[in-house]
Amino acid sequence: MTRVLMVCMGNICRSPMAEGMLRKALQDAGLERQVEVDSAGTHAYHIGSPPDPRAQQAIRRRGIDISDLRGRHVADEDFERFDYILVMDGDNYERVVARAPVHHHGKVRRLLSFSRRFPNLDVVDPYYGGPQGFEENLDMIEDAVQGLIREITSDPTRGRN
C-alpha cells in the first residue's frame, strides 16, 4: 500500500480537491486498493469543516464529489504513515519540512513536481479569488496527479516502509 497525503494551508480548498482528484484517477486506473489518499492543512483554522463550497462546486463539474471530506491538521504521525507528503505551495512546503523529522524530509515534495505542464509551480490558494482560481487549480492538480500515478506505478518499492 502506498500512502499519499495532500497538504495545503486550511485543508478546505486545494488539498481536498487534490485528494478527490487523485482518488478518482486511481479508481479510473484500477489502483484504488493499492493507494491510500488523505489530506490535511498546516493551519488548524478549519478542523472538522467540509471543503469550501466553491471547491466542491468546481470539482463536482468534473464528476468528483468531495462533500464528505473534513478538514484536519497535519499530525506528527503523518510523517511516519505516509510515503508521499505533497504540498501545494512553497510556504506550506517550508512549514511541513520544518515540522518533519529529518529522516522524513524526502517524502515532502510539491505536488506540481509531478506535473508536465506546470512543473514546480505553486498551486496558488484560490480562497480570496473568484471561481476561475479553482478551475486553474484543478487543471494543475489533474496534470500532477497523472504524473504521480506514473511514478507510483513505475516504482514497485514505493509504499514499503
Q: Where in the sequence numbering do the catalytic residues fall?
A: 8, 14, 125
Point out which residues pair with 63 in neighbouring strands. none
Angle between helices 131-154 and 14-28 (to 10 degrees): 50
Which grid coordinates are listed for 37? Answer: 489518499
Which grid coordinates are listed for 17? Answer: 480537491
Residue 39: CB partners within 8 Å, gap ≥ 6?
5, 6, 7, 8, 11, 15, 16, 18, 19, 69, 72
| Angle at alpha carbon of residue 27, lines to 22 and 29, rounded to 5° | 95
Q: Are 75 and 99 within 8 A, CB to CB?
A: no
| Angle at alpha carbon of residue 36, lines to 31 and 40, rounded to 5° | 140
Look at residue 85 and give its three-state secondary structure: strand
